[in-house]
A and B are shown apart, each in its own frame.
Chain A
């Protein structure tokens, strides 16, 4: 059993340190060695089903599929490639209705059932560029030579061929003459969409976002492509609502900083939300799309794209997810921040703040084991934190701005004056005119003396004076309270006496 060996507490209820906290600390293991994103946490779909985690490994090496039950990692199996997203869903209607786990990595979706590999779906290959295809055909028939091919390809696109040396080109061409050109794309994000019923245990389709700026909806039973939609940019986060057969809305946050909203039967996005920064997370709460942005803000938008509200976060947002407390029908947004806190918001209002020992990189709230309201977090250092929401916990919205900010109560720190200051003030009042006159006289005398000294120095050529502007003089002066005596000249100059 790898990892998670040094866990200290059991899955029992370890009491939290603050009695007034709404959360019970169930488990904290900083050595759990789980590195993942929120998109790779597969929610457990029923009592007794474990949590599955697509673990990327500490530096993106050794991706593994980890299954968690209780506080410990139940099983671990290596994955063929880094998982981009994980989702649990029900594939079929007939019994036994065990949920399946889908892991998207590279161009393929690996489906596991009962933790055993079940099916692998590969994205269809993209049709090649017809011009390119034409060129390769010509090469195949030896109508043009590799050099010409290279020149023409350079205009079209980038490919491996262009990197080869001339000698290698011939070999390359002969090797691949017979094969056809293929282009393969990669899955960037994945989510599930209910097919025709809105029940919790209804069959779901898989929605994939690809690097080719497309969205694909897959049928769960036959893994055929039910629908294809295209976007202006590569999707990063997806949020769906509705059912595929009836009516659905899909929001896709893309790499160009925009969020596109599509509806059923539309090939292209219907609405577009332009953020001025990159979206970091996308969560749908009832009819509001909550978007976290790179500029440490949280925005709420309607499903038509109108901005409703903005909240400023104290630190950068790393991850976001939905918190749904079914017993009180509360839906809120959780945001993991870079300062080690997790903020929970209901619309604009901050409901709760959880402080964690390390920065949280992924969040998942839902049923886990026998507990309904469990929050599972993994941290940047690879730790695992499990907290349980108390049954009696009620989230109360803070009453807006409760009066002026607390800084207003702090007094200004005006610098204090000493007795000496007061004495000096009185003295000045008494003898102000005399002081002024003495000072002015002395000032004029000083200026006079300085001018005389300067004239004298000029006349007796004591000062080296630079003739050309290109060679400025450097003087090092030592100032003391007596008359300035020591003027050190740099080595190159002739010191013709004392300055």
Chain B
């Protein structure tokens, strides 16, 4: 090889300044920022070990004066979770260069992460004095105020931040404030603006979709969730929300195929398995439904919705003792819900315990405000026990509730319930025609699907037919068809509803309730 091999230090001609005296000074004062670029490169590539090594070397050489090295060291501490040490190092940086707003911001952020929100606010204000127009300072001040529950100040700060520079994160925080204050409409406004600004952000789209779902505006909810899914087909929240909407419309197969995607990504999710279980329930595959619900229950033992569904499915399967257990567990977790007591009463009725069933119904009627099914079932029970007056009173309660509900536009009543109510009305000789002018939907979905995002603490919309159809088995349980339709003999003895005023053969039940229900559909 003809090329030379330069083993010794190369000599360079014509340098800008003379070498020698500078050399001496260079040895005395190494440039502090000599390897800042290397530290930075290692840091952004997440190569923290190499970064720490270079930092250590630099700090030794410069005797702790290299500000950037200390800064990055503090950032790495924060990533590792040592917030206190990180705070101390940032304070050192702030001392080294007091005019730099960045260091103060980092100190404030460390205080925030340690939970000292008031101190963080003070430091942020100091930083704001140095740099007026920094959206980050305004944004973080807003977040601190949120934690201190001073929502108005937070609101102002976040709006300032938005004026300075729009960012998705600020919109999300603003939306959170409104949600914390319970103001859904304003939250929706904010999220709409955010989606306009950043149409590809799946988190914004999903949250907006869920909010619409809460308000019951299904069309828009579906639109936004669908958009979120086109950008990210494996988005967990969006798929769960979309799936639950499909379930309410009865598209169980489509919902199941969607859930498959999530099941691969997040296999241990209780709401997912709850919804899958209820899809199977809608398709009448009860054993599969029970398996899925039991898995969901194993993953989340304290979720009342899963227990409710388990109770419902077991009632359908005529396993009343198990249903009783599940429903009582659900009641322990959610003591103020009328429908749960109603299910309990159904189970007790089928377990031949009418007194306790009555008490359960009474509690249900007391707690429930809007579901006419509760009163209907109570009326049926009372009628069966021969108390016409009580039955009549409950029937009238039911009618009141129906009238209230009729104003709601998207309501459809379950066919069986309508029929049962009419029969009962005839039996009680109520006389005037019941006012059922709403379209009656032949429903297959009689279940409660868990809401998509548990974190959002969503309340299921109770006005739709899915709620009304909840315990259709109970209503059907009291139907005795005239002259032996569906008369398959089963040894259980549920009390049935005689359709003639005189008690026809007392309580001679011969049909199993679930059996009847199946033939009806």
A401-B233, A428-B321 are contacts. A158–B65 as well, Cβ < 8 Å?
yes
Complexed CA–CA distance, A280 and B294 (Å):
47
A75-B1, A408-B261 are contacts. A414–B292 as well, Cβ < 8 Å?
yes
Nearest chain-B residue to A85 (Cβ)?
Answer: B37
**A294, CB-defined interface residue at 8 Å:** yes
Q: Are B261 and A439 in contact (CB under 8 A)?
A: no
A428-B321, A429-B319 are contacts. A436–B259 as well, Cβ < 8 Å?
no
Nearest chain-A residue to B45 (Cβ)?
Answer: A318
Complexed CA–CA distance, A159 and B64 (Å):
11
Residues of B within 8 A of A278 (CB): 43-44
Contacting residues of chain B (1-53) with chain A, CB-CB under 8 angstroms: 1, 3-7, 9-17, 25, 28-29, 31-38, 40-41, 43-46, 50, 53
Q: Select which of B29, B46, B260, B352 is within 8 A of A407 by beta carbon.
A: B260
Residues of B within 8 A of A186 (CB): 31, 33-34, 36-37
**B295, CB-defined interface residue at 8 Å:** yes
Nearest chain-B residue to A429 (Cβ)?
Answer: B318
Q: Are B7 and A78 in contact (CB under 8 A)?
A: yes
Q: Are A404 and B233 in contact (CB under 8 A)?
A: yes
Complexed CA–CA distance, A120 and B18 (Å):
12
Measured CB to CB, the closest approach of chain B to A194, in angstroms, equals 25
**A350, CB-defined interface residue at 8 Å:** no
**B499, CB-defined interface residue at 8 Å:** no
Q: Select which of B50, B287, B351 is within 8 A of A432 by beta carbon.
A: B351
Complexed CA–CA distance, A439 and B6 (Å):
93
Residues of B within 8 A of A117 (CB): 10-12
Complexed CA–CA distance, A348 and B123 (Å):
41
Residues of B within 8 A of A188 (CB): 36-37
Complexed CA–CA distance, A81 and B30 (Å):
12
A106-B34, A117-B10 are contacts. A236–B40 as well, Cβ < 8 Å?
yes
Residues of A within 8 A of B31 (CB): 106-107, 184-186
Residues of B within 8 A of A124 (CB): 16
Contact mask for chain A residues 217-245; partner B; CB cutoff 8 A; 1 contact, 0 none: 00000000000000000101000000000
Residues of B within 8 A of A279 (CB): 44
Residue in B7, B34, B63, B322 whose Cβ sees the most chain A Cβ within 10 Å: B34
Q: Select which of A106, A411, A437 is within 8 A of B260 by beta carbon.
A: A411
Q: Are B36 and A211 in contact (CB under 8 A)?
A: yes
On chain B, the number of residues with a Cβ less than 8 Å from chain A's Cβ atoms is: 81
On chain A, the number of residues with a Cβ less than 8 Å from chain B's Cβ atoms is: 83
A274-B165, A280-B44, A425-B319 are contacts. A415–B37 as well, Cβ < 8 Å?
no
Nearest chain-A residue to B13 (Cβ)?
Answer: A119
Residues of A within 8 A of B25 (CB): 179, 182
Contacting residues of chain B (153-212) with chain A, CB-CB under 8 angstroms: 165, 167, 169, 200
Contacting residues of chain A (431-447) with chain B, CB-CB under 8 angstroms: 432-433, 435-437, 439
**B112, CB-defined interface residue at 8 Å:** no
Q: Are A415 and B492 in contact (CB under 8 A)?
A: no
Measured CB to CB, the closest approach of chain A to B97, in angstroms, equals 7
Q: Are A211 and B33 in contact (CB under 8 A)?
A: yes
Nearest chain-B residue to A274 (Cβ)?
Answer: B165
Complexed CA–CA distance, A27 and B41 (Å):
27
**B276, CB-defined interface residue at 8 Å:** yes
Q: Are B9 and A78 in contact (CB under 8 A)?
A: yes
Complexed CA–CA distance, A404 and B261 (Å):
9
Nearest chain-B residue to A401 (Cβ)?
Answer: B233
Measured CB to CB, the closest approach of chain A to B235, in angstroms, equals 11
Nearest chain-A residue to B169 (Cβ)?
Answer: A276
Complexed CA–CA distance, A446 and B364 (Å):
29
Q: Select which of A78, A276, A405, A429 is within 8 A of B6 by beta carbon.
A: A78
Residue in A188, A294, A404, A412 whose Cβ sees the most chain B Cβ within 10 Å: A412
Q: Select which of A76, A309, A415 is within 8 A of B5 by beta carbon.
A: A76
Complexed CA–CA distance, A23 and B323 (Å):
64
Contact mask for chain A residues 105-119; partner B; CB cutoff 8 A; 1 contact, 0 none: 011101000011101
Q: Select which of A84, A404, A411, A428 is within 8 A of B322 by beta carbon.
A: A428
Residues of A within 8 A of B252 (CB): none
Complexed CA–CA distance, A155 and B99 (Å):
10
Residues of B within 8 A of A422 (CB): 287
Residues of A within 8 A of B341 (CB): none
Residues of B within 8 A of A19 (CB): none
- Give the interface of B toward A (CB within 8 A): 1, 3-7, 9-17, 25, 28-29, 31-38, 40-41, 43-46, 50, 53-54, 57, 63, 65, 67, 96-98, 102, 165, 167, 169, 200, 230, 233-234, 256-261, 263-265, 276, 280, 287-288, 290-292, 294-295, 317-322, 324, 350-353, 491-492
Q: Would you give 12 A-B contacts (Cβ < 8 Å), ordered by A?
A: A106-B34, A117-B11, A122-B16, A160-B28, A179-B25, A186-B36, A274-B167, A280-B44, A310-B200, A318-B45, A415-B295, A433-B352
Closest 4 CB pairs of A and B: A120-B12, A407-B264, A77-B6, A188-B37
